[in-house]
Every structure is written in C-alpha cells, then in structure tokens.
Amino acid sequence: METTVLSAVSALVGSVVGLSASAATTWVTQRTQARRLAVAAEIKKREELYAEFITECSKLAIDSLDHSLEHPDKILTVYALANRIRLCASESVVAAADLAIERIGTQYTKEKLTPGELRQLVLATFQDPEKRNDPLKPFSETCRRELAGLNSVT
C-alpha cells in the first residue's frame, strides 16, 4: 500500500514541477517578447522624430545660406521638434540637436552667398566631403549611435 501512495505522490509532484517549469518558461518568453516589442516601438518612434528634425533643419540650413531670418516663425517647427526630442532622447542627442540649431541660427546671421557662391559650395561639397560643413552631421551620427544601442537591447 505504501508503494502505491509513494508512486501517486511522486507522479503528483512530478506533474507540479513540470507544470511550474512550463509556466515559468512561458512567462519568461512572453516577458522577453513584450520587452522586444516595446523597444522596437521606441526605436521606430525615435527614428521618425529624428528624421522629421533632420528634414526641417535641412530646409533651414539651405535657407540660411541666402536668406536672413526676417521671420523667426520659420524656426518654430524645429524648436517644437527639439523639445519633443528632449522628452525621449539621451542627453547626447539633445546636445547634438541644440548644436545643430545653434549652427543654423549662426548661419542666418552671416553674410549671404550669391548664386555663384552657392553653386561653388555645392560642387565643392560633392567633390570633397571633407569640405562639407554639415550642421546636422553630428546630430545624425549621435542618433545612429543611440539607436544602435537601443537595437542591441532587443
């Protein structure tokens, strides 16, 4: 009789242990998958925000070469995007965004280029990338590093 009880208890304990292991594995798998999805969504959100900032700043960077800032509302969108970046980005990305805005703002105060000078600048930029004075390059590189770091989490 004792052998029968021992066998039944052993079977019951084995079932409980097996169920616990299965439940734990399922929980860990679901938690990991949920984390990956959350990180992927965060990466997508930041990529879209950074791309929008780059697009708007690019327009201003080109505009600043041959226009002064008669209408400060031109930069309103960029300031709004910079503040959205402050909500979710790392300090290094925020600093790079601020630097880009500062460089573009400074360009608005400089002497404007003639159409001939603009043409020469464009040609020189494509012929020798080292001569490129891209106010957004540090921002883009900082964003790439941040997104790569987030990607390594997934």
The number of angstroms, rounded, from the C-alpha of 49 to the middle of its chain's C-alpha atoms is: 7
Q: Kindly state the average pLDDT of the residues 5-34.
A: 72
pLDDT score recorded for residue 12: 67
- Torsion angle in degrees (nearest 10) through CA of 2, 8, 13, 14: 120
Q: Which residue has the higher pLDDT, 131 or 123?
A: 123
Distance from C-alpha of 16 to C-alpha of 19, rounded to nearest angstrom: 5
Residue 100 has pLDDT above 90, yes or no: yes
pLDDT score recorded for residue 78: 97
Distance from C-alpha of 51 to C-alpha of 46, rounded to nearest angstrom: 8
Residue 47 has pLDDT above 70, yes or no: yes
- As a three-state string, the secondary structure of 19-82 is HHHHHHHHHHHHHHHHHHHHHHHHHHHHHHHHHHHHHHHHHHHHHHHHCCCCCHHHHHHHHHHH
SS3 134: coil
Q: Kindly state the average pLDDT of the residues 79-83.
A: 97
Q: What is the DSSP letter of 139?
A: H
